[in-house]
Amino acid sequence: MYDGIIQDLIDEFGRLPGIGPKSAQRIAFHILQTESFDVARLAQLLIDVREKVRFCEICGNVAEEAQCSICRDVRRSPTTICVVEEAKDVVAIERTREFRGLYHVLGGAISPIDGVGPDDLRIAQLLTRLRDGTVTEVIIATDPNLEGEATATYLSRLLVQPGLTVSRLASGLPVGGDLEYADEVTLGRAFEGRRTVER
Amino acid sequence: MYDGIIQDLIDEFGRLPGIGPKSAQRIAFHILQTESFDVARLAQLLIDVREKVRFCEICGNVAEEAQCSICRDVRRSPTTICVVEEAKDVVAIERTREFRGLYHVLGGAISPIDGVGPDDLRIAQLLTRLRDGTVTEVIIATDPNLEGEATATYLSRLLVQPGLTVSRLASGLPVGGDLEYADEVTLGRAFEGRRTVER
């Protein structure tokens, strides 16, 4: 309904997750009419993020170098690995300041409906990291929903090896939701109260 | 909490209206991880919209030329002007297909709290358009909220001139909301049932 280019911008914003047509329109007009909004900066960041951001070769977290800032941090304990679905979850857990070990980002969760199986996740890389015996505990911190639970169960059965404890975040997380939306206190307590998985 | 550039992108999205920190994060990761999302296109559109889109010299609607596509359309009736607050409202009314006249975009509404007075709106330009007597009806279609009503009242008192009818969209619009959110049927009926303002 708008003249060409504005409608193009509205359409492009409408492709982003969580932005409906009305929001896209509101954003496009905001950008058009707000002189102080730096369009060049946002445009450059969009390009840069795709070009410069990669995934840590060790844990799969986002990184601007070959390894992420957590894997490069010598103060982090190398004996504990916390397994999460997404890089977003690393940030959520870091905010609690409860965990001083390393991470492993799976890149998703097992979901037959979405056609995601164990081979689509970074599970082989996790097994490689466990091979030399440095790691003594794996904390499974997948989302407290169906896919996350399935992934946790799969991993807890797979990761049976001498000297390795496998634990799961304590319930206390609101069930059915996404880990990243948990508040810091809830997530912190879930960490403290994590339990060893019985097998 | 993220390494530099991702956080910068998240922050930049967070500056847009209606996007909170969580949504901004979700969008940034979507852009980062979705190969099919064309970052170059969005980046270019952001730049282009600012550079190429201007406001119609006649009515104040958005345009890519000196005059907007509605003002340039000779099939539109030049005897009726519909006065709206924003360019978004033009699109909402065009969707109803009830109106075949021209528009005048005020660029806002009178709002003492926000420091917006009559002089901040494109009212002088409206008076100029009415000067030669071509226009026989002005339909005031400001938002059905406090500011919109104040603006309508102000205009209806100002636009007293021989041979000019001033009307207001029929009530039927949900009160307290924004005109742009009205569904097409409601808005269409409000147009049909518009009433002459008594003075």
pLDDT at B158: 94
Residue A187: predicted pLDDT: 73
Check pLDDT > 70 for residue A3: no
Q: Shortest CB distance from A62 goes to which of B2, B12, B38?
A: B2
B125-147 per-position pLDDT tens digit: 999 999 999 999 999 999 888 89
Cross-chain residue pair B43–A41, CB shorter than 8 Å: no
**In this predicted complex, what is the ipTM?**
0.70
Closest-CA distance of chain A to residue B108, Å: 12
How many CA atoms lie less than 13 Å away from B38 in the CB half-sphere? Answer: 11
Distance in Å, alpha carbon of B60 to nearest chain A alpha carbon: 12
Longest dimension (CA), chain B: 67
Q: Are the Cβ atoms of B9 and A46 closer than 8 angstroms?
A: yes
Is B40 close to A47, i.e. CB distance below 8 A? Answer: yes
Quick check: A31 and B46 CB within 8 A? yes
Cβ-based burial of A192 (10 A; exposed 0-12, middle 13-18, buried ≥19):
exposed
List helix spans (H) across B15-86: 21-33, 39-52
Mutation site, B19, B25, B44, B46, interface A, largest A CB count within 10 A: B46
Residue A162, min C-alpha distance to chain B (Å): 35
Residues of A in contact with B183 (CB under 8 A): none
Q: Look at A44 and A170; give whichever has higher pLDDT.
A: A44
User: How far off is chain A from B162, nearest CA to CA, in Å?
Assistant: 35
Q: Is residue B171 pLDDT above 70, yes or no? A: no
In percent, the amount of chain B with pLDDT more than 70 equals 91
- Sign, CA dihedral A133-A135-A137-A138, equals negative
Q: Say whether A5 and B45 touch across the interface (CB within 8 A).
A: yes
To probe the interface with A, which of B1, B8, B9 has the most A CB atoms within 10 Å? B9
Q: Residue A84 is which amino acid?
A: V
**A177 — phi, psi (to 5°)?**
-105, -170
The region of weakest confidence among A58-62, A165-169, B78-82, B100-104 is A165-169
pLDDT at B108: 93
Structure tokens at A20: 């409906």
Closest CA to B149 of B119, B123, B169, B127: B169
How close B20 comes to chain A (CA, Å)? 11
In whole angstroms, give the CA distance from residue A187 to residue A196. Answer: 17
At position A161, the amino acid (one-letter code) is Q
Q: Which residues of chain B have a CB within 8 Å of the CB of A87? A: 29
Q: What is the pLDDT of residue B182?
A: 72
Range in A46-50, A103-107, A135-139, B31-35 with the lowest mean pLDDT? B31-35
Residue B193, CA distances (Å) to B69, B168, B170, B199 in order: 27, 9, 5, 19
Q: Which residues in chain B touch residue A53, judged by CB atoms under 8 angstroms apart?
A: 3, 5-6, 32
Q: Quick: pLDDT tens for A173-196.
A: 666 667 777 777 777 767 776 766
Which of A161, A152, A94, A144 shows the shortest CA–CA distance to A121?
A152
The residue of chain A nearest to residue B11, with distances taken between CA atoms, is A42
Of A23, A25, A91, the CB nearest to B1: A91
Token pair for A65: 């170098």
Tell me phi and psi for residue B69, to 5 degrees.
Answer: -65, -25
**Does the reported pTM lie above 0.90?**
no
- Tens digit of each residue's pLDDT (9 = 90 or more) over A81-109: 999 999 988 988 888 888 899 999 999 99
Rounded CA-CA distance A175/A155 in Å is 20
Q: Which two tokens stand for residue B55?
A: 């406001």
| Residue A48 backbone phi and psi in degrees, to 5 | -60, -40
Q: Which of A8, A39, A88 sits opposite B25 (nearest CB)?
A: A88
Q: Which amino acid is at A7?
A: Q
CB contact under 8 A, A26 and B17: yes
The C-alpha of A94 sits at a distance from chain B's nearest C-alpha, in angstroms, of 8
Whole-number pLDDT of residue A16: 93
Helices (runs of H) and strands (runs of E) counted in chain B? 7, 7
